[in-house]
Amino acid sequence: MANFSASANCCPSVKNILLLDSEGKRVAVRYYSDDWPTNVTKLAFEKNMFIKTMKTNARMEGYIIHTLSRTTFFIDFASLGRGLVSFHNPYAADITILDDNIIVYKFVQDLHFFVTGSVEENELLLSSVLQGFFDAVTLLLRNNVDNREALKNLDLIFLCLDEIVDRGIILETDASVIAVKVAIQTMDATGAPLAEQSLTQALATAKEHLTRSLLK
């Protein structure tokens, strides 16, 4: 679990969290940086990022294996020669660098999850944000992580984003905590879920995960 309460200048931060579909179209996005001041610049960044990460995942030619801290990365030297470093890790979040930004990402079904930070940011921390977001969405969607379910539950996804990051500052990365907070927010004053029964089940599952993590 990660909780931070100091100022933005001394806290780990992210520039955006993006959820796109398999065609690169927006599902849910949050920007926390002025690096992209207009919607046009945001869309341009999303397009370039989508194209770059699709190419990274689509081909493995020209890659060599580099092992660091028990984690396997595949380094694309063609991109390295152009000043764009691409890593592919088949076991965890993938990492790339674009326009002096670190991007960690994960593709699941027809959804693409992205977290962007400055080039000075710790990529492991960015990966924990990505994993927390993905796992919380998985809990709330009852493992039905696809574009159709995401569009049907956009309110839950945006609540997840709000629980993870506030104005770029990382608040929480524990998926169980995030999912519980989101589920509680969707209940009315009487405690009855405003959404369908699946949300109650998601809340119960998230609480179970949280209890197990506290007992470890």
Domains in the chain: boundaries: 14-70+84-215
- Which one is predicted more confidently, 208 or 181? 181
Q: Which of 79-83, 133-137, 151-155 has the lowest mean pLDDT?
A: 79-83
CA of residue 183 relative to chain centroid, distance: 19
Whole-number pLDDT of residue 212: 55
Fold of 14-70+84-215: Beta-Lactamase (3.30.450)
Based on DSSP, count helices (H) and strands (E) in the chain, helices before strands. Answer: 7, 10
**Average pLDDT of every residue of the chain:** 77
- Label residue 48 left, alpha or beta by phi (over 0 means left) and psi (-120 to 50 means alpha): alpha
Q: Would you say residue 66 has pLDDT above 50? A: no
Whole-number pLDDT of residue 86: 45
Confidence of residue 27 (pLDDT cuts 50, 70, 90): very high
Give tens-digit pLDDT for 164-185.
Answer: 999 999 999 999 999 989 988 8
Q: Would you say residue 42 has pLDDT above 60? A: yes
